[in-house]
Amino acid sequence: MRMATGVRVVVLAVAAAAAAPACVLTPGERHSVEAWLSCDECDSASCAAVVSLGASRYRHGAVVRVLHATALTRTDSALSRRLELLFVADSVASAHRRGGRPGLGVGRQVWVRSSVGNWLAQRRLRAAQALVGIDSTSPVTLEILDSALALESRLSLRAALDSLRHKVAALVPSP
């Protein structure tokens, strides 16, 4: 029995995909990426761990997908909600320690929303920094930075993203 050429190609592609290692991050690798994206006072080793993981031939795609999605995610409703709850709990605990009313007034609500927005923006910047560390000569990295820059409204983060973008633009070969 003879196989049609198209069927043979599909069979070979499926076999190759089954034989190739899955491009999924292990829990430890995912933790390393999250540690970099979520850190408050980071050291260069945290970013270097993510860049090293992203430079790995077998993990490159998975790491870049996570960083790409993070760099371009304006809001993450589940994460935002968890953060809001943490900030509210911290605010209430702080008011309680000072002997004040533990209520959450309008001013505190604005502060919570602003803090969550700043934290998510910082994650986007860290994702962009790691992407540049992984491949600063890729046109895809430049496109991601352009898109992230278009999404960002905070001036300090726009300046940081713009600086990264200029660095990559100087390294990306012209078409």
Does residue 164 belong to any structural domain of this protein?
A: yes
Does residue 56 belong to any structural domain of this protein?
A: yes
Does residue 138 belong to any structural domain of this protein?
A: yes
Does residue 16 belong to any structural domain of this protein?
A: no
Split into its structural domains, the chain has a count of 1
Q: Which domain holds residue 29?
A: 23-171
pLDDT tens string, the chain, 175 residues long: the values are 444 433 333 333 333 333 334 467 888 888 888 888 888 787 788 889 899 888 887 778 888 888 888 888 766 677 777 777 777 777 777 776 777 665 556 677 777 778 888 888 888 899 999 999 998 888 888 888 998 888 888 888 889 999 999 999 898 887 6
Does residue 157 belong to any structural domain of this protein?
A: yes
Does residue 13 belong to any structural domain of this protein?
A: no
CA torsion through residues 81, 70, 130, 153, sign: negative
Burial classification of residue 111, based on how many CB atoms lie within 10 Å of its CB (0-12 exposed, 13-18 middle, 19 or more buried): middle
Measure CA of the first residue to CA of the last residue in the chain; give whole Å: 47
Q: Write down the pTM of the prediction.
A: 0.71
Does residue 142 belong to any structural domain of this protein?
A: yes
Does residue 12 belong to any structural domain of this protein?
A: no
Rounded to whole angstroms, the Cα distance separating 24 from 30 reads: 9
Instruction: Tell me if 115 sits within 8 A of 85, measured CB to CB.
Output: no
DSSP 39-67: -SS--HHHHHHHHHHHHSTTTHHHHHHHH
Rounded to whole angstroms, the Cα distance separating 28 from 130 reads: 17
